[in-house]
Amino acid sequence: MGFSRYLGVGYKNDVNPNIADEDGETPLSGAAWGGHEGVARMLLERNNINLNPTNKYGITPVYEAARKGHEGIVKMLLEQVNVDPNSADVYGQTPLFRAASKGHEGVVKVLLERANFDLNTANEHGITPLFGAACKGYEGVVKMLLEQVDVDPNTVDEYGQTPLFKAACKGHEGVVKALLERANVDLSTPNNMVEHHSPELPGEDMGES
């Protein structure tokens, strides 16, 4: 990713810990991506650390850690008051969206404990965190999200498909059961609705190399 040469250098007082590489990756971004808790902790001790730098895809350190399932680093970052937990990438995907869509239950739990969260942010295809988890069959994540009063179980994607519709079409029984237990789930389906294949998460591999 081009950030490895920066890791660990931010501990010296005369070093700028926010210098980014050509892709916009900072040392904190690299530590978050790689799951290096010790390095992240050292960097966070710097009072001039930028907690929300974005790379060329709009990805922040908390997003990096969330999509990779690094629960410890996500928790560490969220302890910082100025970390933005709703930062979205260029496709409109948030840390919660990526964690939910990848089935990282521990990360989702940590994210949901942060009070200022937008639970229903959709990506460019109209897919929300709940929709993404339901589509993939991540029952545990779906249940956690449905426990949140503000989660909307009836959001529709660009094809008019709901989380219940997608889960039913894919045969995710546990997810369907969890959704049906939510009192305000809309059971109706538009006439002549057939399943459309939701696109793979855009940018799935961005910044992975």
pLDDT at 11 exceeding the cut of 90: no
The percent of residues in the chain predicted with pLDDT above 90, rounded, is 77
Residue 152: φ, ψ to 5°: -95, 110
How much is the pLDDT for 116? 79
**Residue 44, pLDDT above cutoff 50:** yes
pLDDT over 70 percentage in the chain: 84
Please tell us whether the domain made up of 1-85 is placed in CATH 3.30.365.10: no
* Residue of 111, 82, 98, 182 lying closest to 138 (CA atoms): 98
What percent of the residues of the chain are helix, what percent strand, and what percent coil, each to the nearest 5? Answer: 40, 0, 60
Mean pLDDT of the chain: 88
Query: Residue ranges per domain, the chain?
Result: 1-85
The model's pTM:
0.86
pLDDT tens-digit readout, 70-129: 999 999 999 998 999 999 999 999 999 999 999 999 999 999 998 778 899 999 999 999
Helix H or strand E encompassing 66: helix 61-68
Tokens for 35, please give them: 């799951």
- Phi, then psi, of 187 in degrees rounded to 5: -85, -10
Residue 197, pLDDT score:
62
Cα distance between residue 62 and residue 110, in whole Å: 12
